[in-house]
Amino acid sequence: MTPAVSFQAISRHFGRVKAVDRVDLDIARGEFFAMLGPSGSGKTTCLRLIAGFEQPTAGHIEIFGETAEGVPPYRRNVNTVFQDYALFPHLNVADNVAYGLMVRGVGRRQRMQRAAEALDLVQLAGYGERRPGQLSGGQRQRVALARALINEPKVLLLDEPLGALDLKLREQMQEELKALQKKLGITFVFVTHDQGEALSMADRVAVFNEGRVMQVGTPQEIYQRPVSRFVADFVGSSNVVPPDFVERVCGKRAWGSLRPEAIRIDPPERGTGVNAQVLSSSYLGAATRLTLDAEGLRLQATVPSGTTVPQVGEAVALGFDPDALHIMEGEA
């Protein structure tokens, strides 16, 4: 089946800066796809290339099998939800949502009916007469979402739309966005630097760094089987362990990734072969995070709540399932 979005050797340069560098990427129809990476990694530029706000320096973009380069944003069947929402403060909520239909020349009665349906979809029925300034951050985010959905795009682009929300509201909106995408069945492309958002919401994740895609896979694949030191370190908390350690433990000389929750804390007399000393302890509620000195290698381990936590300075032995030590393909 033709992908919703296809990048074929796409580059976007700004002078000498390679914001996007020969990216190959296919996003499936009806997929919740996350672009994850640090600031300046190229993910937002890729989103803007899909939207038509940027044009590629080289390469080819297709949206549902049709060439996209050179096509202006208003002629693409995509819509964007921005982090700052970009609502008109002088218009009420209904008119903000219906603005795109007004530009298209849709009559007021029809666009107000469509706006009411869109507001109902995002759980804001009855809010049409309010002004944006009378809404909370989460409500303004929903208005921006309704405004994007009213035009019935085939691809919805979300540029870090939850970044301005507090933690509890952000988690609530993550669940609502995921449920909404499943209900509508349209392609969502979600840009974020928050690996928790990407892992919890997306069907697949592309990890970006320095304009390139480092790895694409399901959240489970990205988290459990990172292909490089960068992916292991950026996605979740991971102990990136050097070849000497990996060779000692499993006989293969390569870089490895060992998640903190995979490490078991044993008394020193257990004799697991890896001894350590507790350097610090941080209580996190559901767990306690320990920083350990394992014979010169600094590691982190997570001790679940209800488990005995060793004291700072205490000697311990470390244990883990050999399968938990993931051997990575490269060093980058």
Helices 137-149 and 108-121 cross at an angle (nearest 10°) of 130
Q: How many CB atoms lie within 10 A of CB 218?
A: 14
Indicate whether 228 and 248 sit together in one domain. Answer: no
Residue 235 has pLDDT above 70, yes or no: yes
Of 217, 250, 16, nearest to 228 by C-alpha is 217
| The pLDDT value given to residue 330 | 60
pLDDT tens sequence across 173-229: 888 889 999 999 999 999 999 998 999 999 999 999 999 999 999 999 999 999 999
pLDDT tens sequence across 12-33: 999 999 999 999 999 999 999 9
End-to-end CA distance of the chain: 33
Is residue 269 situated within a structural domain?
A: yes
For the chain, what is the domain count? 2
| The pLDDT value given to residue 268 | 81
* Least confident segment among 77-91, 93-107, 198-212: 77-91
- For residue 18, what is the DSSP state? E
Indicate whether 114 and 191 sit together in one domain. Answer: yes
Is residue 61 situated within a structural domain?
A: yes
Residue ending a domain, choose from 191, 208, 233:
233
| The pLDDT value given to residue 171 | 85
| The pLDDT value given to residue 322 | 82
What confidence category does residue 331 fall into, taking pLDDT thresholds of 50, 70 and 90?
low
Parent domain of 296: 239-327
Structure-token pair, residue 319: 């244990």
Residue 85 has pLDDT above 80, yes or no: no
| The pLDDT value given to residue 237 | 81
Mean pLDDT for all residues in the chain? 91
Q: Which residue has the tokens 């350990």?
A: 292
What percent of the chain stands above pLDDT 70?
98
| The pLDDT value given to residue 282 | 94
pLDDT tens sequence across 109-152: 999 999 999 999 998 999 999 999 999 888 998 899 999 999 88
Contacts of 76 (CB under 8 A, 6+ apart): 50, 51, 52, 63, 68
Ramachandran angles phi, psi of 155, nearest 5°: -130, 125
Indicate whether 117 and 213 sit together in one domain. Answer: yes
**Amino acid found at 102:** M
Is residue 332 situated within a structural domain?
A: no
| The pLDDT value given to residue 86 | 81
Indicate whether 122 and 265 sit together in one domain. Answer: no
Ramachandran angles phi, psi of 299, nearest 5°: -125, 160
Give buried/exposed letters for 270-295 (b at 16+ CB in 10 A, else e): eeeebbbebeeeeeeeebbbbbbebe
Helix (H, G, I), strand (E, B), or coil: what is residue 301?
Answer: strand
Indicate whether 216 and 275 sit together in one domain. Answer: no
Indicate whether 73 and 219 sit together in one domain. Answer: yes
Q: What's the Cα-to-Cα distance from 1 to each of 5, 64, 71, 85, 222, rounded to whole Å?
A: 12, 10, 23, 33, 24
What confidence category does residue 169 fall into, taking pLDDT thresholds of 50, 70 and 90?
confident
Residue 5 has pLDDT above 90, yes or no: yes
| The pLDDT value given to residue 189 | 97
Q: What's the Cα-to-Cα distance from 19 to each of 14, 241, 285, 291, rounded to whole Å?
A: 7, 30, 40, 36
pLDDT tens sequence across 176-190: 889 999 999 999 999
Ramachandran angles phi, psi of 38, nearest 5°: -70, 170
| The pLDDT value given to residue 279 | 96
Whole-number Å distance between alpha carbons of 21 and 41: 10
Residue 272 has pLDDT above 80, yes or no: no
Helices 167-184 and 137-149 cross at an angle (nearest 10°) of 20
Is residue 280 situated within a structural domain?
A: yes
Residue 67 has pLDDT above 60, yes or no: yes
**Amino acid found at 130:** R
Indicate whether 190 and 314 sit together in one domain. Answer: no
Indicate whether 244 and 202 sit together in one domain. Answer: no
Q: How many CB atoms lie within 10 A of CB 69?
A: 14
Structure-token pair, residue 173: 């909106």
In this predicted model, which residue has the larger pLDDT, 137 or 332? 137
Q: What is the mean pLDDT of residues 234-248?
A: 89
What percent of the chain stands above pLDDT 90?
70
Whole-number Å distance between alpha carbons of 141 and 133: 12
Residue ending a domain, choose from 167, 200, 233:
233
Indicate whether 81 and 193 sit together in one domain. Answer: yes
Is residue 229 situated within a structural domain?
A: yes
